Structure 1
Amino acid sequence: MTVTLTDAATGNALTNLSAGVTGRLTATVKDKNGSAVTGALVTFSTDSAFGTFNPASGTTLTDASGVATMLISGGATSGASSATVTAVWKESGADVSASGSVNYIVSAAGAVTLTITAPAFGVGASSLSAYGTTSVSVTVGGTTSPLNVSFTSSCATSGKAVLTASVTTINNVATASYRDNGCGNIDPITASVTTGVTATSPLTVTSPSAGSIQFVSATPSIISLKGTGSATLPEVSTVKFKILDTAGNPISKTVDFSLSTTLGAITLSNGAATASATSDAATGEVQIGVNSGTLPTPLRVLATINGTTIKTQSNQLTITTGLPDQAHTSLSYSTFNIDGWRFDGTTTILTMRLADHLSNPVPDGTVVNFVAEGGRVDASCTTKNNESECTATFTSQNLRPSDGRITVLAYAVGEESFTDLNSNGTADAGELIDANGVSTALPEAWIDYDESGAHGPTEPFFNFDGSTSAGTGTYSAANEDWNGTALVAGNKYNGILCTAGAPICSVRTAAHVYRNVVIVLSDSEALSTGDVFTNAPSSPLDLGGCTPGKPGTSTSFNLLLRDLHSNALPAGTTVHVSTFNGMLTQGANYVVPNTIDNYQTNPGSSAFSYPITIENDAPTTGTCVDPTPTGILSVTITSPRGVVTTYNLNVNN
């Protein structure tokens, strides 16, 4: 048997098991004939004070080459020792053994020292510039054998630096590479060997310079006036920014905040108009709260990196009442004149659009109510998705007013409008006008049955004061309502945006904002009584004689389109004109438009009078002989529901 000791890392012959060095014991077992012994049980032993085995049992088997190996590390005691190896196997049924040994020395490692040397880039040893690279060298004393040295640091662990994890000494020196990745601090670097001997030295890494500040978010972007907040419209917005260094990485810096305006005593989260906060080192984010004031206004938060000229501002925030005002309220619908007089279930979509005093969206959750003179309409809708609008469906059915016209009222809780002439954010005397100079004094909401724009004694109204009685139904200009209760004097402002105690202020802090629209339940059949062909020179229509060599004469007249109530036919009704004598040059096809016009009140509307032009079709060359001297002009009117009306007119030439 032969036994050798080598360095486990390099394979070089080894006699000194210094701290941090692992050796490999190799035993080669042969029989008396010099042949390798396979499967022999090999036992390694030594004084545990000087060396330890891996595995700790110290036993193994020889391989096909008769070789068995065992790792050994120096113990805690310095001095000379030996490792003994015994192999046992069977030959011809009898036990056979062999043994051998090898001497080694255990020496303690010298003190590990750590020094930082300047890299080739010229960075000084005492500090490293942001995102720079340097080298970290460890000198090991007490051994001449190669030694594995491990390196760690706080910034490397957190990802703020890149440090070589381990290096084997060459001539007792191990050199690792250190690259800054935004550490910006004093980074303790620790070197260690397997015996537990360590050394630590600080590396000063220069903090990165701030490169930019970015606005991230304002949540929510619309807040209510102080003292009027709710779950859907709070009084505080959280504004967030992000700080990046020159390499685009997050960085911790102090940020100074200020407000673009303090109108109405707007403050930051510290209760003042200015504040400071430090951004998070990991994310670069910093945030500040904005507390609303008592007046509506747009504003922005200004953010400056402390000690620099690097600054930015937030997107616009809005402080608002959260209430729609009358001037910014609009009610529209998809089809004005629906095919609904004789058919149930015809629909049109109503859309109420709202905005506040500053033309900003109202908050989600704002409710709009609907009532109608007849038919059926959804009771309410609610704004959502920050769209500041909502829709309801009107459906044709009974009750049908005798004139085929239904008024729909949409209303919501809001406030009166005013023009802030002195820019103080509140309504003052002389300001109850809109941008067009029209008075904004707002009566209580009513359903305008007769479309007059003024309340009549038989028209329902909605008492904002909350009285359960129907009221007198008599409008009082002095009180601006119909229930007769003298709650306010004339020309008072009903809304939040009023200075308490000012003569202009009503006791009401809100009012109904509303709009009326008219939906026409048009009949599907065109009215056939009376003169449907107007301005025609004769009946039958005479296109005149023929003059050889000249084009035929032309005649123009109008087709009168209306239903039994003199309302326009349903929108989308098609009109097709054809003739079997003469030639049409105008008016072959027509589609009835969206309209609420009535022929009795607006006979000149294009919805009713449809022009047609026809000319003599006799030949203009040779003899003036017309093979079709008589014929019929036919008009076919088809409603969206498929009801057909036909008009005919005799034509001679």
Structure 2
Amino acid sequence: MTPESGQVLTNESGVALIELDVEGQDIGSTGEIVVTYDTASTNQAPFSPLRFTIVEPALQLGYFNNGQFVPGSLEIVATVSDELVVSTGIPDQDSFSVSATVLNTGGDSVDGVTSTINVKAADSFNNPILDGTAITFKTEYGRIEGSCTTVGGDCSVNWTSQDPRKPLAYTFLDDDGNVASLRTIFNTDCSVPGVPRGVSCPASLGQPYGARSSILAYTLGQESYNDANGNGLYDTGEVFVDLPEAFLDTNEDGAFGNPNEVGSCHPDCPEVAGDEDIPVPLIENDAYDQGNGIYNGILCSDTAEAAAACSKELVHVRQQVTVLVAGETPYAGIFEGVGISARLSSDIDISRSDSGTRYFYLSDVYNGRLPLGTTIKTKSDYCVVEPEDNAVANSSAFGPSLFPITVTAPDNAERNGSGFVRIEVNVPAPGGNTGGITKTWRFRCSYDLCVNSPDDEKCQDS
């Protein structure tokens, strides 16, 4: 069997047996060798240690086991292999993972920003897959190296920012009635009341999201199942995950939405904008195929296969990761409250509680996260603020970044006072270049000691 990876899969292994005398010298025996499974030593039969039994007349009885001579009392002696391991070497779905070193790379307006895409794959027994297994990649935006081959179950490729950066043909009417391909904070109204255009929105802008590049990794492998009886094989009735055809999920809704393929969820998909989803067919039949209702994998037992409950035919195992082709210009809003209940708030009076919190929403033009390395520094010439330093996390989660800022009255506060809280955001230049973009937002913090402590000596009339 030769899979897509080019690796020839085998169920045979060469084993050399040498019969030795008591001094460890080869005696050139021609006795019969019998190989059996040692099923008593493990619950993974038939994937268990092998027992090698040598039937030899007219010899001093005994055998070598792990370098030591063991006297025998029978004319049949045996040893158990301690290095021969039986494993599939074929990836299965729940042991196949994909990650990116940088999830929010930037690169919306700059070519050459990179992120390393890593694959880690194991077989059904969670052992590393065969070295040399080819993993194939597809991406929505930018470019990606087409494949890599595994060593020790791992391999990596580079994703690089460049065109394309938007859908090829998909368009919609924005909130101004204009044709657009991606939603931004300038063409879409925020669903949170009172938030104007050009300000980070605490709620989602909706599909199609901008600056999100889906990356698909896949290879031939087998479906995952629950080995209920522990025999190392799929048997009729055991629970398994039936995989549909793999595809590049451009709108990240988990459903194949390309209307040009039979079997698409269009027009009743969970979300819009999946029109450019890309199928990865195993069978060229001009249709998107759901699962076939049976287990697929080389661990299909002969009995289950005869009952048509499984097949040894392989399927595509796959995973997807999203990299943000984030914009470099920061946009923000200062709010009281979070999410759909948030309200824009410019000032904060902490007289009654001695402290308070404002929520700083920070985004790019697509209302997504800014590039990794973006820093936020908060200072005040009157109130105490914390934290003073923050940063955009390594994440491709939906929506803007959220930073709570707690404001407290100073320990040595006079009777009353106020001052500005300044929030400085620095977005680094793409690709490690010098420079970057720095913008500042501010709100006023005020405090009246006598509201909560009218008996304080500072509140007494002179």
Task: Decide which of 401, 404, 424 is 1:608's aligned counterpart.
Answer: 401
Report the more deviating stretch, 630-639 or 256-265: 256-265
Residue 363 of structure 2 corresponds to residue 562 of structure 1: yes
Residue 123 of structure 2 corresponds to residue 356 of structure 1: yes
Residue 425 of structure 2: aligned partner? 637
Residue 228 of structure 2 corresponds to residue 421 of structure 1: yes
Residue 257 of structure 2: aligned partner? 456
Residue 415 of structure 2 corresponds to residue 619 of structure 1: no
The sequence identity of aligned pairs, in percent, is: 27
What is the deviation of 1:410?
A: 0.4
Residue 440 of structure 2: aligned partner? 646
Distance 1:370 1:617, change over 3 A: same
Distance 1:542 1:323, change over 3 A: same
What is the DSSP-based 3-state SS (H/G/I as helix, E as strand, rest coil) of the residue aligned with 2:94? Answer: helix
Q: Unaligned stretches of 5+ in structure 2?
A: 40-44, 57-62, 167-181, 183-209, 259-274, 338-342, 430-435, 448-462
Report the TM-score when normalising by structure 2: 0.66
Residue 446 of structure 1: aligned partner? 247
Q: Which one has a larger percent strand, Structure 1 or Structure 2?
A: 1
Would you say the 8 A contact 1:303–1:311 is kept in 2?
no
Residue 330 of structure 2 corresponds to residue 526 of structure 1: yes
What is the deviation of 1:232?
A: 7.3
Would you say the 8 A contact 2:49–2:85 is kept in 1?
no
Q: Give the count of matched residue pairs.
A: 356
Q: Counterparts in 2 of 1:175-190, with a 5 A limit?
A: none
Q: Counterparts in 2 of 1:575-594, with a 5 A limit?
A: 575-584=376-385, 586-594=386-394
Q: Counterparts in 2 of 1:200-215, with a 5 A limit?
A: none
What is the DSSP-based 3-state SS (H/G/I as helix, E as strand, rest coil) of the residue aligned with 1:235? Answer: coil
Distance in 1, Cα, partners of 2:281 & 2:427: 41
Q: Counterparts in 2 of 1:56-135, with a 5 A limit?
A: none
Distance 1:317 1:572, change over 3 A: farther
Distance 1:286 1:370, change over 3 A: farther
Would you say the 8 A contact 2:52–2:79 is kept in 1?
no
Distance in 2, Cα, partners of 1:365 & 1:234: 17
What is the DSSP-based 3-state SS (H/G/I as helix, E as strand, rest coil) of the residue aligned with 2:313? Answer: coil
Residue 162 of structure 2: aligned partner? 397
Distance in 1, Cα, partners of 2:360 & 2:213: 27
Distance in 1, Cα, partners of 2:442 & 2:119: 44
Distance 1:353 1:589, change over 3 A: same
Distance in 2, Cα, partners of 1:267 & 1:616: 71
In the alignment, residue 646 of structure 1 is paired with which amino acid? T
Distance in 1, Cα, partners of 2:388 & 2:282: 54
Deviations 1:558-600 (A, max 9, x none): 111222212122233211111122222x22111221222223x
Residue 539 of structure 1: aligned partner? 346
Q: Please provide the CA RMSD for this pair.
A: 4.0
Task: Decide which of 501, 504, 507 is 2:306's aligned counterpart.
Answer: 501
Residue 395 of structure 2: aligned partner? 595
Would you say the 8 A contact 1:618–1:625 is kept in 2?
no
In the alignment, residue 643 of structure 1 is paired with which amino acid? I
What is the deviation of 1:608?
A: 2.4
Distance in 1, Cα, partners of 2:226 & 2:47: 22
Distance in 1, Cα, partners of 2:16 & 2:392: 53
Residue 38 of structure 2 corresponds to residue 261 of structure 1: yes
What is the deviation of 1:305?
A: 4.5
What is the deviation of 1:379?
A: 0.3
Residue 53 of structure 2: aligned partner? 274
What is the DSSP-based 3-state SS (H/G/I as helix, E as strand, rest coil) of the residue aligned with 2:279? Answer: coil
Distance in 1, Cα, partners of 2:388 & 2:164: 37
In the alignment, residue 15 of structure 2 is paired with which amino acid? T
What is the DSSP-based 3-state SS (H/G/I as helix, E as strand, rest coil) of the residue aligned with 1:327? Answer: helix
Would you say the 8 A contact 1:445–1:512 is kept in 2?
yes
Deviations 1:455-500 (A, max 9, x none): 11232111112x2x6x134x4x4xx3xxxxxxxxx41222223325
In the alignment, residue 395 of structure 1 is paired with which amino acid? T
Would you say the 8 A contact 1:533–1:560 is kept in 2?
yes
Task: Decide which of 511, 515, 523 is 2:315's aligned counterpart.
Answer: 511
Report the more deviating stretch, 324-333 or 642-651: 642-651
Q: Unaligned stretches of 5+ in structure 1?
A: 1-223, 278-284, 288-300, 434-439, 481-489, 546-551, 600-606
What is the DSSP-based 3-state SS (H/G/I as helix, E as strand, rest coil) of the residue aligned with 1:338? Answer: coil
What is the DSSP-based 3-state SS (H/G/I as helix, E as strand, rest coil) of the residue aligned with 2:363? Answer: coil
Residue 263 of structure 2: aligned partner? none
Task: Decide which of 293, 300, 313 is 1:491's aligned counterpart.
Answer: 293
What is the deviation of 1:376?
A: 0.9
Task: Decide which of 146, 164, 177 is 1:379's aligned counterpart.
Answer: 146
Distance in 1, Cα, partners of 2:46 & 2:397: 48
Distance 1:646 1:503, change over 3 A: same
In the alignment, residue 346 of structure 2 is paired with which amino acid? S
Residue 407 of structure 1: aligned partner? 214
Q: Which has the higher contact order (CA 8 A, sep 6+)?
A: 2
Would you say the 8 A contact 1:339–1:640 is kept in 2?
no
Q: Which one has a larger percent helix, Structure 1 or Structure 2?
A: 2
What is the deviation of 1:321?
A: 3.5
Q: Counterparts in 2 of 1:277-316, with a 5 A limit?
A: 305=70, 307=72, 313-316=80-83
Distance in 1, Cα, partners of 2:441 & 2:7: 63
Distance 1:455 1:232, change over 3 A: closer
Q: Counterparts in 2 of 1:136-175, with a 5 A limit?
A: none
Deviations 1:203-248 (A, max 9, x none): xxxxxxxxxxxxxxxxxxxxx99xxx97675721336789797xxx
Residue 388 of structure 1: aligned partner? 153
Distance in 2, Cα, partners of 1:453 & 1:557: 35
Residue 207 of structure 1: aligned partner? none
Distance in 2, Cα, partners of 1:543 & 1:251: 90
Deviations 1:122-171 (A, max 9, x none): xxxxxxxxxxxxxxxxxxxxxxxxxxxxxxxxxxxxxxxxxxxxxxxxxx
Deviations 1:383-418 (A, max 9, x none): 12xx11111111122111331111111000112222
Report the more deviating stretch, 421-430 or 553-562: 421-430
Distance in 2, Cα, partners of 1:234 & 1:369: 25
What is the deviation of 1:614?
A: 2.0
Would you say the 8 A contact 2:38–2:49 is kept in 1?
no
